[in-house]
Structure 1
């Protein structure tokens, strides 16, 4: 009898101890390299964690995020991934901004069989060519955003297209998808010129001279951050914009419009986030909570950080556990909430159906904004199963 009592007390102590151990999420991102995106991103996931902990946590445990800065370097991201899993014993890895960094973490996930939720990296390779059982991606990919933009680009009378994109995985992936999808809709178009500036080091004058020498009817742009600002300023001064129509990925995001201000080029067709014009209940609740906590309005990074944690929380609830394999199983086909509305991870390629907003740029009150926008639900811009099976490794489908 005494031994039974002792056993029960030991079991109770063990349960209490487990309940006292927080669920740990290891978060790796380019905090010092891309602060205009990653600072709002950090605040987004902080809001989500605060909300879930205020509601009692998950599985009776608090949630803790251990963040690391990869400085935009794949080798730093890998070092942190090893340290977070081996030393900090995190239950889930998440994050990534640059596509080359994201792919390094994808490789780590495959080799170590550890769940990785890729928040921001957009290259298609993450879920297709380099996809694996342990990697899930949140944001709409380069293929998805290219498909959204092609819908509008195909309506332009333009036949001769030129492209400007950073010369690394994200830019290459975006251009490849745009070319493939536009030619499928408009067999008459031709691509007459392309420029590949090093990311963060664009020589805008040289780039635009080379592009305009090809006499394009329209331009597809994939530059972002400081490169985008330099390109816009140079194009405005030369009278290239808005004379030549531009279709541009990400350029409607507040992170970049706040920098462009009244230099924002009018009528560019873009993907972005018109945060001040969205009146859905899910977004209104998120935006109000975000402003209350940080005294500023949300950006795309804020949404991505918040939605990343919402997805992980939903997986833990569904699995009823933090066991790695149970979480991976729970993530396939997982439905979860985002400020943009419900989304899910497709089982076939583990890509989220979270969408983006598509519209045109304009200037209102001396500030850049999106007009004539619509929400493009991600599920409507993903390819069919046959396309995925042709690109995704067979072992990743198991």
Structure 2
């Protein structure tokens, strides 16, 4: 079957009217962002049980408003795989997030298919099909796209349709649909995709904790983020993280000192951007001490807590395997440390379905009401009754 991308507003409106009748649609995107700050949306694939299509958002004069309206129609479930990047793109285009959504990667974890299962893995494992990978490295901004490329793109949403229907049935049978809803809630929060330049320093790996150092890092990282947004180029093409860390450490206050920073060229230091970053440094140096950022101190774990944490890891793995769910969905390593060291830790495993799967057993282990032992290759739990005298 020949696939013809939708490039005109009339056919797109007709498609959206058909899709609006569906209970759910599957959605995928192809985009580029190697040379830009903002992802460049190149192709949208969409399917319902009745229709599938490829939309070319790069087509001249194509009015995308009907499709973006459809993505905000709350009576239609939007199904993605590993939705975060797709959601970020739509948020940028629509200034709103698609909702409601279903993420098959999250559902796969809830159904015991492992951590962050890839799309191709699920197609193979769940549908017993193979994905043709020959068009994987296509430059999706090039036109025209050939039939092999279009078929590869469209198959993303047709396979996804079948995966979703299987997962939806399994989740309903296991009474776990709400588990997936809980895990996808953050994906529908606009704050997830809102970049605050003043907070970007937190994503830079650094061992420095001195407040003035952090203050300079915050200001120069915010400056870089704004410049990257304004110029629509990757932020590392302005300055790499390593250069920002050197700047925060040495705090250059003139062009001559800025040129000594590794990764800062003479042209950069002498030009407009050099002036901009020196201004950001000066702003940070003028801040009063009380306005400087500070990192919270990581609480010191009690001595001897390691063995209990290790036991909790074993219990988590055992319970996750028994309940056919990925362990990282139930509890993280940091949460296990809190659980080991605190009587009443404020972690997700202490409530809801996680409590039933793991938290209750973990507290019983801590209080000596159960023990863990090996039986052949299996880990067994032994209930310990209180001695009555």
- TM-score (normalised: structure 1): 0.22
Q: Which has the higher helix share?
A: 2
Higher strand fraction (1 or 2): 1
* TM-score in terms of structure 2 length: 0.22
